[in-house]
Structure 1
Amino acid sequence: MNVDDQPERDLIEEYQATTALVRKNNNLIKELIERINGKMTTLKIEKFNNKDFEVVPPFEGKIEQLPRFLRALDYLAAEYEVTIYTNHLVPFLLHVEAKLKGAVAHQIGLGNYQTWPALREKLILAYDDKRDSATLAEELGVMSQKPNETPMQFYERLILHYDQMLAKLLLECNSNKDIVKGVTEHYLEHFNPPAHEVNSRRESYTRKQDIYPSPEEPQEKRKKGKGKNDSTKPMTSKIFYKEKLALEKQKAAEKKAREEERDRRREEYRQRKLQLLEQVVKNNNNNISSPERL
């Protein structure tokens, strides 16, 4: 082989290799375009069902409403693959804006957002809860039914609070489902449902009604008579004082028990979350150092 011909041969080989690479890339681009066109055609055929938005609750700017509101819309956005490449984006955003009520619609500014992620981010920045997951978990553990609250209202309040805690936990763990699942299962396993506390409050409330007469009762009794032998005469001050003292002691004991239980649950929650985070970091380090991954 002539030495003088070597540079020319190298140039020819480099040109051939470059041509082959360009041809390969062009084929990949062509295949990708065909896939996108086929996907868009399929999505255009699929009908956008307006009734799906009936399950999305209206959003009035209340912090506790945001997690459920976003979760319902995230599900529909994934179901219809709402992106700038589909014809579902515009009707989806219009339906979302129709769910914004009152001052929210004016603060967010209808029509100012071209994508669902942009609108979603604005809602989170404006109305997201500032408490962390540990604080929300602590509050959830000590929630109890209010005196004038029905069981259904109490249940809905619990679910809304749990939604807030779960949404905040997803954000803190960067949507790592393993961590969220582990922390949630551990928390629910050690979370004592508030049924016993509700029942205790109900019994305490009933006893208070027996001991403390209603506002109307003294007036009615006074109308019936003021005689010493009157059967409607209120209980003596001695019995009243003993019952009142017993109730105060019981209330103080219940409060102390709730505080101790709250501290214990919060510590278990933090320890479990820390263990899962350490496990994820350890697994990631093992994967990075594994020869199969190198």
Structure 2
Amino acid sequence: MHHSASVRLRLDLSYDGTDFSGWAAQPGLRTVQGSLEGALAMLLRVDDPASVRLTVGGRTDAGVHARGQVAHLDVTPAQLEKWTARRRPEEPAWEAPELARLRARKLTGIVSRAAPDVVVHAAHVVPAAFDARFSALRRRYEYRLIGAGMRKDPLVARYTAEVPRPLDFDAVQRASDELLGLNDFTTFCKAREGATAVRDLLRFEWRRAEDGAYAARIEADAFCHSMVRALIGAVVAVGSGRIDHEELVALRDARARTSRFTVMPAHGLSLEEIAYPPNDALEARAAATRARRSAID
């Protein structure tokens, strides 16, 4: 929770999720949140490490990567001053972007001792109304995969899923188009208790990457648990001939979990970007996000 005597910081970061048990801190497991909060506790020299708490924009599962993750935390003015103290005080005040990069370098330097697979790019001071999770307008992911007979590249194998059947690229794209728009995505995710699975899927586009893999750009106002990997699994089922286009539509409209397609592996997925509104719209956006979405008849 934000207090008047504290300063809110936005962290922009990336990580290779291969060796993490997801974002969320869990006792005895290596997580991105746990690694970052431990580094922050050392950097801020807090008496109680548990008092350092990050709020994340996109909570990633075990094995999922991120290029554009965002988190926020609150620090005291004294902690912020220590964090950004300049080595040469005679220099004029630095511009905010340089200070943000300085804070990021210091935090990355500490976290890299135990987690070299995490990099913090910037640590900006933001308005108290900023919330990494609830202020977000939309989130963008990329999913990479190859089908049977496609060229394998060992240098990107950690980030590319394999499908044991040939894939029809055009069929995959047509199936993806069918899922766009405002829908109840219960078929593809499990909504939290008291919430709905209504989401606005804004983009679901495929391209052939330079290494030959198929890469999906998938963007929505929000996603529920495992929704991206389930959506990918559904269109892959069409592209591999396991189900046809009409069945996909029927499954979508049934709004029930199914075994007709599988949730794709985590390692093909990367969180690429989280977009936010201007500062003067942050509070309104957070309030709208927290409101329960109406069900679709």
Give TM class, smaller chain: under 0.3
Query: As a proportion of its length, which structure holds more helix?
Result: 1
Query: As a proportion of its length, which structure holds more strand?
Result: 2
TM-score, normalised relative to structure 1: 0.21
TM-score, normalised relative to structure 2: 0.21
Relative contact order: is structure 1 or structure 2 higher (C-alpha 8 Å, sep ≥ 6)? 2
